[in-house]
Amino acid sequence: GVLYSGALISKLRGRYERVSPMRLILTALLCLALPGAVLAQATPAEQAMMRTVEAEHDRHVALLERLVNQNSGTLNLAGVRATGEMVRAELEPLGFAVRWIDMAETGRAGHLVATHPGRGRNVLLIGHLDTVFEADSPFQTFQRGEGARATGPGIGDDKGGVVVIVAALRAMQAAGTLEDANVTVVLTGDEERIGTPASVARRDLIEAGRAAAFALEFENLAVDDGAEFGTVARRSSSNWTLTATGRTGHSSGVFNDTLGYGAIYEVARILDGFRRELPEPNLTYNVGVIAGGTPAEIDAEGFNVTASGKTNIVASTAIARGDLRTLTAEQDARVRAGMQAIVADHLPHTSAELVFGDGGYPPMAPTEGNRALLARLNAVNRDLGLPEMAEYDPARRGAADSGFVAGDVDTLGGLGIAGGGAHAEGEWVDLDSLVRQSQRAAVLISRLSLEGL
């Protein structure tokens, strides 16, 4: 478990020819006795952060348990606010000015925004307080499993990420790097089900992104086959509703010059056109619900459809609802135009309308600035003796709040805890990853904010 720096290894190799084997053995034993001395290029303050995170691990597991046991489903407004108060109690003793931004006008609880002014460059830390598990969910409590495994609602998405933020900031305070650091924390209360209008729901996050020099997002760490990855890109997420209408009448007249093809055939044509004509890398357009008949309707939330009809009646109405995920704003605009062009080429005696929903999540495009941030994280990894992280495939990640700021500031995502099963009963995390993620974050935040001072 001892970490040897590249400089130390080179020094030993360079002297191998003129140093006796016994001398090399004694040097290695000295390194074993003094593991702190062989932490690659970590400064004394960074080594202090490493030790603080390790020493406070049990404290932070206990904090995670308390957060998880407080239900904060997006629509449990009181629960989201209570979770925010728990985080306030962690940040105010560190010198943060914490305020709660009420979001009653969007139908949501609100957001926690905490600021720590300093002489350094502003680093924005992004997470969220809410989960997909509402108060009526049977999945409600933190459970410790074998080894370092624990389960609970929102334990990784994103309460584990919130604890990583707290642990990193506490380590910075203990090491003295927080004093001059310029840090803003924004924890939204509706990431899982954004309020409307989105322009109001994400107003404060967008403003924080425009004021920041760097943005770090603390959703789950990306892990594949034991390897950990950096998130430099995420795809967008937006909803669309397709409504087709047609002439109705006896089915014996379908396809003729009087009745035409009916609404269901029109929707089928359009959806199959999407499938055939639009495919390209990093693009998906899922259909989540569909109904057709005489009549057919969809509810105001866009989740439930109803329809009735007979096999001998040409359908008057058909409705389909789905999502669109793209990697860049340019791809999003191009694909939307392509979808609309397919919709406009109607079958005889039918019409159709494609409407994109308000808001949604913008893409976090894979910019060179984001890649430079990952390079900075990999420098931290090297200096702490941790493995370097490659870019994760954005097609395998969901959308996140980082998309709202990535157009204005270099952004790195996926800095939260490692785990799996998000959005499902049995969601779990690896508690050991809480240590290394908090160590990485503490050093990275310190370096970013304090560079040049």
Report yes or no: 146 and 83 within 8 Å, Cβ to Cβ. no
Q: Which residue has the tokens 């003295």?
A: 176
Q: Is the peptide bond before 158 cis (omega within 30 degrees of 0)?
A: yes
β-partners of residue 246 are 350
Report yes or no: 231 and 414 within 8 Å, Cβ to Cβ. yes
Query: pTM for this structure?
Result: 0.88
CA-to-CA distance for 57 and 433, rounded, in angstroms?
11
**What pLDDT score was predicted for residue 359?**
74
> Residue 112 is encoded by which pair of tokens?
């926690």
Q: Where are the chain's structural domains? A: 6-38, 47-234+363-450, 238-356
> Residue 370 is encoded by which pair of tokens?
């984001």
Q: Which CATH number fits domain 47-234+363-450: 3.40.50.800, 3.40.630.10, 1.25.40.10, 3.90.1200.10?
A: 3.40.630.10
Report yes or no: 399 and 237 within 8 Å, Cβ to Cβ. yes
> Residue 293 is encoded by which pair of tokens?
């008949």
Q: What is the pLDDT along the chain (453 residues), one digit of tens a residue?
A: 333 333 333 333 333 333 444 544 443 443 444 344 445 588 999 999 999 999 999 999 999 999 999 999 999 999 999 999 999 999 999 999 999 999 999 999 999 999 999 999 999 999 999 999 999 999 999 999 999 999 999 999 999 999 999 999 999 999 999 999 999 999 999 999 999 999 999 999 999 999 999 999 999 999 999 999 999 999 999 999 999 999 999 999 999 999 999 999 999 999 999 999 999 999 999 999 999 999 999 988 778 899 999 999 999 999 999 999 999 999 999 999 999 999 999 999 999 999 998 778 999 999 999 999 999 999 999 999 999 999 999 999 989 999 999 999 999 999 999 999 999 999 999 999 999 999 999 999 999 999 878
Q: Which CATH number fits domain 238-356: 2.40.30.260, 3.40.50.720, 1.10.10.60, 3.30.70.360?
A: 3.30.70.360
Q: Which residue has the tokens 């690659």?
A: 40
Please state the φ and ψ torsions of residue 251, each to the nearest 5 degrees: -65, -20
**Degrees to nearest 5, angle at CA 116 with 110 and 122:** 95
**Chain centroid, CA 319 distance in Å:** 30
β-strands 296-298, 428-430: how paired?
unpaired
Q: What is the DSSP letter of 160?
A: I
> Residue 132 is encoded by which pair of tokens?
């997909």
Amino acid at site 112: L
Alpha helices in 95-238 (DSSP H): 161-175, 198-201, 203-211
